Structure 1
Amino acid sequence: MQFDLVGQDPQSSARAGQLHTAHGVIETPIFMPVGTAGAVKGVHARELVEQVEAQIILGNTYHLYLRPGLEVLYKAGGLHRFNGWQGPILTDSGGYQVYSLAANRKIKEEGVTFTSHIDGSKHVFTPERVMDIQRIIGADIVMAFDECPPYPCEYSYAQKSWELTWRWLNRCCERFDSTEPHYGYAQYLFPIVQGGCFKDLRRQSAEQIVSLDRAGNAIGGLSVGEPAELMYEMTALTCEILPAHKPRYLMGVGTPENILESIALGVDMFDCVMPTRNGRNGMLFTTQGIINIKNKKWEEDFSPLDETLGGYVSTHYNKAYLRHLIISKEILGAQIASIHNLRFYLWLVRQARQHILAGTFSTWKPQAVRQLMQRL
């Protein structure tokens, strides 16, 4: 995978880059809309391009494996042809679902036995099986199979969890390297740094992963309930070890503030369900701050959602109308809010990139955080 660094902030570790894939070039730092089951909820592929200006989206191995299933995806020619998204795709390996479905799974050396949340059927994910599934899905970037320890957890648990993840990672690499893509374009495997919130385990995990020399690297096991400052501490420690000439992906993060602070630490790639999930519940992210559109103060506010963002959705619809839709539980309200919030998140990382290239990121970031995180 070709990753070109094109800019570096002089006062922090923030950097701008270009990540080349078979389905297009990704300008970093980048935010990836989450399309868990092959769809970003309520958002057409055309809207992802024209309104959101997304460059890459995320899918999930666990959910796609269960539904629509591998046979359908293979016959379709992979997820790109199945869902009509022509840009790059990254797939999460299902490790986080293993974490979140704790009551319905058993973890062993061989892999994970879990019960489907759809119909109660039993399934087994091994590192080898997860690589095979992601080959069939056809994502440009595939993630290694890992175990995500909870927060808080005992040191001994985090250590055993990372050791298991390391053994699984080696099996992932062996299977991935011994197989070929199904659809005629290159795929790339990213390992995931784990180790809980223990510095020595994080350091050991990152150093071992660096030794594998894969195309890029991910930081997992954060944003699972730990304080933000602890998340930043673990991220900073990890970024100092991961090679600068390869992309760094912080999984499942987060708020606008989380993203800007993590960019300053050297992270290039982000994903989170927050813009769509919170949007469906009436929270709007804007260039002036955060809005709870359900509040009565917006009942007669006929101003656009956010003229600064541009785009049809954010400039065409007004706050009073969106409030009406959300309160009435109209599907259109969820769609408008989701598209608007995703456009904001992509605007945010573009702004960060521009300031990195201009050498002004470190002076711009504190002001941006204060403004963007205030409640209106």
Structure 2
Amino acid sequence: MSFFELLKESNDTNARISTINLQRRSVILPIFMPVATHGVLKASHFRVKDVVLGNTFHLRDLNKDLKDYMGIDACLTDSGGFQIISLKNTINEDGVLFLDYSSDGKLQKEEFSVPEQQEEDIADENFSNFCRNVYCFDCYCEGCPFEEMMREKYLKKYENRVKKIDELYNMYILTPEKSISIQNKLNSDIAMQLDDVIRPESNKRRHLMAVKRSIRWLDRLLHAHKNKTQNIFPIVQGGLHEDLRNFSVEEILKRTKHENVNGIAIGGLCGGESKKLFCEIVFKTSKILRSKFNGPIYVMGVGYPEDVIISICLGSDMSDCVYPTRTARFGRIFTDYGDINLNSYKKEKNTNLNIKINDGKSLNDCKCRTCKNFTLEYLVEIRKTENFCILTTEHNLFYMQNLTDKIKLAIQNDNLLEFLKEWTDKRFGKEKPDWILHVFELLSIKQLNTT
């Protein structure tokens, strides 16, 4: 049985229905994956029916099957790379050094200096010509030939170096080899490569360095990969630069010959770039990938309801984010018409939202246990208790799961355009944001430009 099976494509957008066959079950895409950072969905009793995401860095000492540990059927583990953004660190060719953690992975109070081997300052300059040899370490080179012995020599070097790498640093280092070793033990259905994560606004030459290093790290990870039942997803990088993203795609596609590389992720977004740019990158990158690769496309870090819908229409099959659960703990609950902030519910009275409430309970006919059993007024009253977080989290997770189910049904029934029009009318009214109209232009959806 193949890992990926395409079932149906939308006639009017780039959305599609497909199946991925995992270790214990099959999952129908598109899906949204909630994030269980430490192997626990915070403040939730909700049973996720599809895939849950776990964090490799924070689960590094679990040393057991994550599905058994959580009592779930399917999971994806990230590489630990996101902690490059969220934790104090420095990066070099060996891996990611976390400055607040000792070499055995324990949080430490002592201040350590940054290791001597660190990145040089990269001059900020625009350029169009660049060396496409990922094993050329000169970020100013404009072209030199790749030879297979370069990769072989590099991989051999790290075969020997990783055996003693922890002794070289007085802080915790996450290497591609260590990342995949942890994920192999967690036995996730899908393991993500460790990539060189930088912010979108970083200069272009630093992005070129990140693209090349991420490919080299992918080669190291594949070389060290031991769990043959586990699928590997490489990550497209390149920031906001189309030529660098195309270069990243080109190199990743060469690695899809590996038997375990069965999906590809689009990374490096959701870091403050404009919505228009985000949509253009997802649209163009997905289009290239789908023309040359038969597998799921995972757009990382997408969790706002409107972003999930639009990403699917642009070509995404999978997405994830902490936003639905985190914002629930802060008192915000999702509806088609926008969020309700329960912390200020009495003041707002939600006059700006066309919220239908049945018998003081169900939000827009929501069938989650929270909406079926509790009023908004009750949620407001208990908002300073732990029960509040459980109830709001359950609602938001149900909402996201129900939303992707509705999208799948609309694709199946060939009425995704009608669903998209109805949903965006509810969400934004007559004056839709420019970025939504830009998506309609990208997809040549003329009839949705007006309500």
Specify if TM > 0.5. yes
1:287 Cα deviation after fit:
3.5
1:304 Cα deviation after fit:
1.3
Query: Take 1:151 and 1:2, find their aligned partners in 2: how far apart are those partners?
Result: 32
Q: Which amino acid aligns with 1:97?
A: Q
Q: From the superposition, tell whether residues 3 and 373 of structure 1 become closer, same or farther in structure 2 (CA, over 3 Å).
A: farther
Query: Take 1:41 and 1:370, find their aligned partners in 2: how far apart are those partners?
Result: 32
From 78, 85, 94, the equivalent of 1:92 is 78
From 175, 193, 201, the equivalent of 2:244 is 201
From 202, 220, 223, the equivalent of 2:270 is 223
1:138 has 2:187 as partner? yes
Q: From the superposition, tell whether residues 157 and 8 of structure 1 become closer, same or farther in structure 2 (CA, over 3 Å).
A: same
1:290 Cα deviation after fit:
2.0
CA contact (8 A) 2:369 2:395 kept: no
Query: Take 1:365 and 1:280, find their aligned partners in 2: how far apart are those partners?
Result: 28
Aligned match of 2:207: 158
Q: Which amino acid aligns with 1:31?
A: F
1:333 has 2:321 as partner? no
- Superposed, 1:347-358 pairs within 5 Å as 347-358=402-413
1:142 Cα deviation after fit:
0.2
Q: What stretches of structure 1 of length at least 5 have no aligned partner?
A: none
SS in 1 for 2:302: coil
Query: Take 1:305 and 1:119, find their aligned partners in 2: how far apart are those partners?
Result: 44
Query: Take 1:363 and 1:82, find their aligned partners in 2: how far apart are those partners?
Result: 41
From 275, 283, 305, the equivalent of 1:256 is 305
RMSD across aligned positions (CA): 1.9
1:116 Cα deviation after fit:
4.1
Give per-residue Cα distances to partners, 1:256-286, cap 9 Å, x unaligned. 1111111111100011111111111111102
Aligned match of 1:234: 281
| More divergent stretch after superposition (288-297 vs 16-25) | 288-297
Query: Take 1:304 and 1:129, find their aligned partners in 2: how far apart are those partners?
Result: 49
Q: What stretches of structure 2 of length at least 5 have no aligned partner?
A: 110-170, 351-356, 430-451
TM-score, length-scaled by structure 2 = 0.74
From 97, 102, 108, the equivalent of 1:113 is 97
Q: Which amino acid aligns with 2:302?
A: V
1:311 Cα deviation after fit:
2.9
Query: Take 2:347 and 2:421, find their aligned partners in 1: how far apart are those partners?
Result: 28
| More divergent stretch after superposition (125-134 vs 364-373) | 364-373
1:307 Cα deviation after fit:
5.5
1:373 Cα deviation after fit:
5.6
Pick the structure with more helix per residue: 1
Q: Percent identity?
A: 33
Aligned match of 1:304: 361
Query: Take 2:348 and 2:329, find their aligned partners in 1: how far apart are those partners?
Result: 17
Query: Take 2:331 and 2:362, find their aligned partners in 1: how far apart are those partners?
Result: 12
| Number of equivalent positions | 349
Q: Which amino acid aligns with 2:4?
A: F
CA contact (8 A) 1:78 1:138 kept: yes
1:29 has 2:78 as partner? no
Query: Take 1:99 and 1:147, find their aligned partners in 2: how far apart are those partners?
Result: 10
Q: From the superposition, tell whether residues 373 and 120 of structure 1 become closer, same or farther in structure 2 (CA, over 3 Å).
A: farther
Query: Take 1:369 and 1:150, find their aligned partners in 2: how far apart are those partners?
Result: 30
SS in 1 for 2:339: strand
Aligned match of 2:21: 20
1:291 Cα deviation after fit:
1.1
CA contact (8 A) 1:287 1:309 kept: no
Query: Take 1:163 and 1:43, find their aligned partners in 2: how far apart are those partners?
Result: 40
1:292 Cα deviation after fit:
1.3
1:48 Cα deviation after fit:
1.4
Query: Take 1:356 and 1:21, find their aligned partners in 2: how far apart are those partners?
Result: 23
1:193 Cα deviation after fit:
0.4
Query: Take 2:37 and 2:93, find their aligned partners in 1: how far apart are those partners?
Result: 27
Aligned match of 1:371: 426
